[in-house]
């Protein structure tokens, strides 16, 4: 790991109130364009009750990258940290923000005595796949979904 990513990982903060979550909205807007800000906040409030947390990185007084995650216990993998969301602002990608967040999440998973960090990623997100592989992740399963509506 480069010293720059390690030092950036040390600058990761956790959103502890709605004002800080609102500051993360531009990153989520780029990552989840199907949401508007009101729906993002509604979902955050609900997911927070289920243990969802947001970590973020700031540069020049703006949030440039964020990660949403939660703890889960599964039969298949035991206690895991599940990464729901990871993104950076357009124009900020490729600067190491995502890797710094991954380092922070891996450290948090160890601190919480998790067996692993898991995530799902879209097939088309090739740059993200490369970043995950660089950070020690392995492509080892498929995620399937059935729509009820």
Q: Which residues of 74-86 are buried (b: 16+ CB within 10 A; e: fewer)?
A: eeeeeebbbbebb
Lowest mean pLDDT segment, chosen from 10-19, 56-65, 104-113, 129-138: 129-138
pLDDT value of residue 146: 87
- 2: pLDDT strictly greater than 80: no
pLDDT value of residue 84: 97
Q: How many domains does the chain have?
A: 1
Q: Does any domain span residue 145?
A: no
Q: Does any domain span residue 143?
A: no
| CATH number, domain containing residue 7 | 3.40.630.30
For helices 126-134 and 97-111, what crossing angle results, to 10°?
Answer: 50
Q: Are strands 116-119 and 78-88 parallel, antiparallel or unpaired?
A: parallel
Q: How remote is the C-alpha of 5 from its chain's centroid?
A: 16
Parent domain of 38: 3-134
- 8: pLDDT strictly greater than 70: no
Q: Does any domain span residue 47?
A: yes
- 121: pLDDT strictly greater than 60: yes
Contact status, residue 34 vs residue 122, Cβ threshold 8 Å: no
pTM: 0.89
Q: Does any domain span residue 71?
A: yes
């Amino acid at each position: 790991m480069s010293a720059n990513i390690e030092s950036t990982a040390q600058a990761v903060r956790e959103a502890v109130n709605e004002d800080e979550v609102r500051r993360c909205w531009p990153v989520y807007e780029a990552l989840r364009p199907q949401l508007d800000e009101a729906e993002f906040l509604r979902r955050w409030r609900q997911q927070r009750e289920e243990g969802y947390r947001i970590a973020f990185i700031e540069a020049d007084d703006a949030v440039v990258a964020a990660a949403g995650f939660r703890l889960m216990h599964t039969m298949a993998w035991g206690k895991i940290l599940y990464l729901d969301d990871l993104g950076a602002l357009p124009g900020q990608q490729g600067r190491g923000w995502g890797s710094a967040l991954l380092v922070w999440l891996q450290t948090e998973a160890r601190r919480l005595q998790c067996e692993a960090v898991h995530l799902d990623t879209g097939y088309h997100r090739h740059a993200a796949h490369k970043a995950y592989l660089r950070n020690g992740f392995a492509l080892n399963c498929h995620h399937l979904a059935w729509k009820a509506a």
